[in-house]
């Protein structure tokens, strides 16, 4: 195939040598980032040690533990598969084809990521649950029962709808930075379109899709709100039963078990990644004409996004009708909440990209234990349930960083640790798609290594950079558990306001900030996508 290099190809001994000496500055930076991510795990271990050995053994070997682990595994596998099946075609359609209103769909299909999955779950249960709105619509025509939404199927449905954007956004970034001349070459070799996709595109985007799928899978593993609403017993439930009964130490012990499962999944994903190739970044924009398939393709995008967005929107709007005119002061919506959300999400996205750069760069460019370790470690904070991560940082903040405890600095730090892999995953996939020969050429032309990075590599990885920033931004916008534990007193974001209204049953008051959350995130996505050199107007 055209111009590919294995990163560590030994086709040139000199180059291989070059490749194995890690650049010191970048390595130190990556090590610092990895160390920061490991902080919470240290706390987990420290706290778990407070659980007596006998109790710990009993807890970890309970029969239910095995059962919920199995349930979790089934859930993760099914959801991740479904995310790939939905996310990759959507990415392909919005990047490579003449899909009608392509720019519109580009933004819309990424928006489900903004809806907290538990809100989606509530909405679906109220629409499709027994005696839900949907059931009542059908009752007159004699349909007494609709399929049960509770249980495994419902949980997979909800989590797929709200996590497929991980795959979509990473796959999209990778498709955008892929060299389409390869495709032209394959087509001239008489490959039909499907064959071309399978033999050329798939190997190219596989690392990115794997990164996205990993994000979906780990999200599902650590999410507890959705399975609990959908009444499906998973691992996180056990953890939160412990929290609910003030068993913080046992809860952290169980979270460690979750970390162990995560490590296994990370290892698994390394195997699936397959052979990673780097290729020369291409500039051409071959657009595939969908012909008669244009409208079915648009229908597909509309159906997925519609299901994920319209159901919660309808429910939210129906709550709006219940909003109270005489609600008390503390529930009045203020625009400053939206500003707060945007400010911290922007800060988190920027810091997460900067922190992710050295880790992603090393792991894409160099083989060896350290680069791989740094990259894998960056996922750990993401796989710990938010409340556990929040508590870990409560510990470090209150004990060792009193000046920044309950300030926005620590809060942003928490977001970065929590969502770092979202930027690392996208960035890494982009670095893999940049031919190392290009910055080298710049070096021979007299550029410093920093200059080569700045003027050659960075523009080429921009789609991944902004894709990663978008992911971090969107997920920070909806982050709740760590926010509640670490926010300064009186600091209200859209999501904490939704929660306040919600937990006291003022659903009408929860609707406005939820709609604003969607709107603001949608606008921000537009801005981010414009930045990535994509002309969305």
| Residues 489-528 close enough to bind another protein by CB under 8 A | 489-490, 498-509
> Does 280 engage in binding with another protein (CB under 8 A)?
no
* Choice between 88 and 517, CB closer to another protein: 517
**Which residue from 88, 123, 215, 518 is in contact with another protein, where contact means CB under 8 A?**
123
Structure tokens at 32: 């610092």
| 8 Å CB contact between 65 and 238 | yes
The least CB distance from residue 148 to another protein, in Å, is: 14
Q: How many Å separate Cα 64 from the centre of its chain?
A: 29
The least CB distance from residue 302 to another protein, in Å, is: 23
| 8 Å CB contact between 176 and 534 | yes
* Choice between 302 and 327, CB closer to another protein: 327
The least CB distance from residue 495 to another protein, in Å, is: 9
Q: Which value, in Å, is the radius of gyration of the alpha carbons in the chain?
A: 23
CA dihedral of residues 467, 470, 474, 479 (deg, nearest 10): 90
* Choice between 75 and 90, CB closer to another protein: 75
* Choice between 292 and 321, CB closer to another protein: 321
> Does 327 engage in binding with another protein (CB under 8 A)?
yes
The least CB distance from residue 237 to another protein, in Å, is: 4
> Does 118 engage in binding with another protein (CB under 8 A)?
yes
Subset of residues 136 to 155 that bind another protein, contact rule: CB under 8 A: 136
> What is the longest distance spanned by two Cα atoms in the chain?
78
The least CB distance from residue 229 to another protein, in Å, is: 4
Length of the chain: 537
Within 10 angstroms of residue 280's Cβ, the number of other Cβ atoms is 19
Structure tokens at 412: 């942003």
Structure tokens at 500: 């306040």
Subset of residues 390 to 409 that bind another protein, contact rule: CB under 8 A: 390-391, 394-395, 398-399, 402, 405-406
* Choice between 170 and 476, CB closer to another protein: 476
**Which residue from 3, 181, 318, 407 is in contact with another protein, where contact means CB under 8 A?**
318
The least CB distance from residue 442 to another protein, in Å, is: 47
Residues facing 110 on adjacent strands:
none
- Give me the DSSP letters along 341-410: HHHHHHHHHHHHHHHHHHHHHHHHH--SHHHHHHHHHTTHHHHS-HHHHHHHHHHHHHHH-GGGTTSHHH
**Which residue from 48, 80, 106, 126 is in contact with another protein, where contact means CB under 8 A?**
126
CA dihedral of residues 99, 104, 109, 111 (deg, nearest 10): 170
Subset of residues 462 to 481 that bind another protein, contact rule: CB under 8 A: 480-481
3-state helix, strand, coil in the chain (%, to 5): 75, 0, 20
**Which residue from 240, 293, 409, 453 is in contact with another protein, where contact means CB under 8 A?**
240
| 8 Å CB contact between 515 and 314 | no
Q: How far is residue 514's CA from residue 451's CA, in Å, rounded to a whole number?
A: 44
Structure tokens at 444: 């021979």
**Which residue from 40, 87, 112, 116 is in contact with another protein, where contact means CB under 8 A?**
116
The least CB distance from residue 315 to another protein, in Å, is: 6
The least CB distance from residue 196 to another protein, in Å, is: 45
Q: Which residues contact 300 (CB under 8 A, 6 or more apart)?
A: 89, 90, 93
* Choice between 248 and 454, CB closer to another protein: 248
The least CB distance from residue 43 to another protein, in Å, is: 8
* Choice between 467 and 513, CB closer to another protein: 513
* Choice between 316 and 362, CB closer to another protein: 316
> Does 65 engage in binding with another protein (CB under 8 A)?
no
The span of 22-30, 128-136, 294-302, 525-533 binding another protein (CB under 8 A) equals: 128-136
The least CB distance from residue 325 to another protein, in Å, is: 8
Subset of residues 259 to 278 that bind another protein, contact rule: CB under 8 A: none
The least CB distance from residue 47 to another protein, in Å, is: 8
**Which residue from 328, 334, 336, 448 is in contact with another protein, where contact means CB under 8 A?**
328
The span of 209-217, 267-275, 319-327, 453-461 binding another protein (CB under 8 A) equals: 319-327
Q: At residue 144, what are phi and psi to the nearest 5 degrees?
A: -85, -30
Sign of the CA dihedral running 173, 176, 182, 184: positive
* Choice between 223 and 375, CB closer to another protein: 223
Q: Which residues contact 271 (CB under 8 A, 6 or more apart)?
A: none
| 8 Å CB contact between 201 and 97 | no
Burial class (CB in 10 A: 0-12, 13-18, 19+), 255: buried
> Does 334 engage in binding with another protein (CB under 8 A)?
no
* Choice between 151 and 274, CB closer to another protein: 151
The least CB distance from residue 288 to another protein, in Å, is: 41
**Which residue from 319, 337, 374, 466 is in contact with another protein, where contact means CB under 8 A?**
319
Subset of residues 177 to 236 that bind another protein, contact rule: CB under 8 A: 224-225, 227-229, 231, 233-234, 236
Residues facing 278 on adjacent strands:
5
* Choice between 502 and 534, CB closer to another protein: 502
Q: At residue 97, what are phi and psi to the nearest 5 degrees?
A: -120, 175
Q: How far is residue 24's CA from residue 401's CA, in Å, rounded to a whole number?
A: 28
* Choice between 104 and 240, CB closer to another protein: 240
> Does 322 engage in binding with another protein (CB under 8 A)?
yes
């Amino acid at each position: 195939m055209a111009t590919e290099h294995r990163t560590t190809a030994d086709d040139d001994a000199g180059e291989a040598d070059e490749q194995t000496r890690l650049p010191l500055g970048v390595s130190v930076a990556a090590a610092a980032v990895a160390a920061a991510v490991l902080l919470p795990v240290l706390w987990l271990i420290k706290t778990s040690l407070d659980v007596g050995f006998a109790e710990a053994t009993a807890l970890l070997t309970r029969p239910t533990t095995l059962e919920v682990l199995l349930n979790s595994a089934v859930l993760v596998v099914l959801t991740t598969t479904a995310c790939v099946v939905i996310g990759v075609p959507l990415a392909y359609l919005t990047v490579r084809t003449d899909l009608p209103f392509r720019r519109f769909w580009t933004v819309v299909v990424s928006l489900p990521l903004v809806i907290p999955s538990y809100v989606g779950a509530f909405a679906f249960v109220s629409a499709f649950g027994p005696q839900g709105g949907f059931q009542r619509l059908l009752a007159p025509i004699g349909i007494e029962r609709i399929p049960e939404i509770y249980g495994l199927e419902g949980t997979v449905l909800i989590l797929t709808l709200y996590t497929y954007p991980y795959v979509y956004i990473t796959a999209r970034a990778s498709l955008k930075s892929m060299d389409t001349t390869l495709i032209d070459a394959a087509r001239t070799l008489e490959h039909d379109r499907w064959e071309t996709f399978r033999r050329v595109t798939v190997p190219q985007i596989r690392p990115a899709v794997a990164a996205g799928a990993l994000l979906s899978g780990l999200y599902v593993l650590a999410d507890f709100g959705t399975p609990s609403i959908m009444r499906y017993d998973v691992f996180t439930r056990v953890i939160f039963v412990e929290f609910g009964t003030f068993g913080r130490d046992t809860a952290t012990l169980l979270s460690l078990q979750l970390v162990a499962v995560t490590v296994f999944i990370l290892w698994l994903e390394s195997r699936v990644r397959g052979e990673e190739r780097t290729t020369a970044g291409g500039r051409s924009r071959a657009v595939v004409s969908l012909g008669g398939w244009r409208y079915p393709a648009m229908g597909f995008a509309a159906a997925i996004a519609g299901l994920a967005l319209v159901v919660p929107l309808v429910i939210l709007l129906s709550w709006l009708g219940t909003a109270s005119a005489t609600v008390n002061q503390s529930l009045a919506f203020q625009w400053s909440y939206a500003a707060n959300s945007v400010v911290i999400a922007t800060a988190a996205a920027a810091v997460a990209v900067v922190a992710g750069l050295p880790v992603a760069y090393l792991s894409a460019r160099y083989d060896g234990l350290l680069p791989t370790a740094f990259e894998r470690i960056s996922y750990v904070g993401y796989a710990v349930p938010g409340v556990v991560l929040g508590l870990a940082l409560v510990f470090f903040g209150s004990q060792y960083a009193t000046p920044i405890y309950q300030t926005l600095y620590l809060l942003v730090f928490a977001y970065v640790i929590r969502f770092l892999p979202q930027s690392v995953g996208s960035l890494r996939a982009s670095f893999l798609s940049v031919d190392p020969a290009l910055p080298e050429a710049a070096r021979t032309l007299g550029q410093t290594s920093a200059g080569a990075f700045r003027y050659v590599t960075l523009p080429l990885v921009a789609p991944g950079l902004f894709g990663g920033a978008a992911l971090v931004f969107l997920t920070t916008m909806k982050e709740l558990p760590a926010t509640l534990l670490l926010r300064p007193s009186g600091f209200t974001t859209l999501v904490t306001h939704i929660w306040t209204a919600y937990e006291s049953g003022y659903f009408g008051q929860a609707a406005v900030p939820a709609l604003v959350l969607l709107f603001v995130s949608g606008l921000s996505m537009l801005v981010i996508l414009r930045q990535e050199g994509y002309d969305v107007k």
